[in-house]
Chains A and B, each alone.
Chain A
Amino acid sequence: EDKVVQSPLSLVVHEGDTVTLNCSYEVTNFRSLLWYKQEKKAPTFLFMLTSSGIEKKSGRLSSILDKKELFSILNITATQTGDSAIYLCAVPHGSSNTGKLIFGQGTTLQVKP
């Protein structure tokens, strides 16, 4: 059965800290891994990773994929209170490449001033 497991489930840090969020997966016919950020409302897309070892970067956020060990990490440097959110990891289910995503439980990040 395809599955996605995230850790930790929750994390509390102070502004300026660096955090690393983890996502491991088991899926047949792996195609890609996606990270989303969910604040109070809808999840919003952050990154899509398809190749091992190639870092995707956007500002203070970066992510990398390891297809051999079946995991991805999301790093946030110099955290700000606006980074407080649930971070979701997802992979397309089975042979699907059409948005049928399996989501992890999410990591709830709280950044304190």
Chain B
Amino acid sequence: DAGVIQSPRHEVTEMGQEVTLRCKPISGHDYLFWYRQTMMRGLELLIYFNNNVPIDDSGMPEDRFSAKMPNASFSTLKIQPSEPRDSAVYFCASSFMTGKGANVLTFGAGSRLTVL
């Protein structure tokens, strides 16, 4: 398996523009997560899905952020309109449930977003 695949790897955009980040989880994993990493706040969970259904979006900062998972092999995180404070590395991760939970995550390489 190629692992969790994210695109784009780098995105530079101007304030007010729409940004769409994409993720392909590992086949067979039924949990998908969007995390954000910044120097100030570290790694934070934004939202996660189970079997394509959003379970917890309490980490989504505000209405400018939205995430979808139309099928088991694809998810998007959209920011509209983007602001400079959204600059961060956005990680997608996936996992599957075992007897000890679904906490062993496999992360993608991340999408580094810079909003000017």
A interface list, Cβ under 8 A from B: 31-32, 34, 41-45, 48, 50, 88, 90, 92-93, 96-101, 103-106
Q: A106–B42 contact, CB under 8 A?
A: yes
Chain B residues near A106 (CB-CB < 8 A): 42
Q: A41–B103 contact, CB under 8 A?
A: no
Residue B56, interface by CB 8 Å: yes
* 3 nearest CB pairs, A to B: A97-B101, A42-B107, A103-B43
In the complex, besides A43-B91, A43-B107, A92-B103, 19 extra interface pairs with C-beta distance below 8 angstroms are A32-B100, A34-B104, A42-B91, A43-B43, A45-B106, A48-B100, A88-B43, A93-B45, A97-B103, A98-B31, A98-B55, A98-B97, A98-B102, A99-B101, A99-B102, A99-B105, A100-B33, A100-B45, A100-B48
State the total of A-B contacts with C-beta under 8 angstroms: 69
Query: Could you list 28 A-B pairs, sorted by A, with CB under 8 Å?
Result: A31-B101, A32-B100, A32-B101, A42-B91, A42-B107, A42-B108, A42-B109, A42-B110, A43-B43, A43-B105, A43-B107, A45-B105, A48-B100, A50-B100, A93-B45, A96-B56, A97-B102, A97-B103, A98-B50, A98-B101, A98-B103, A99-B31, A99-B48, A101-B43, A101-B105, A103-B43, A103-B44, A105-B42
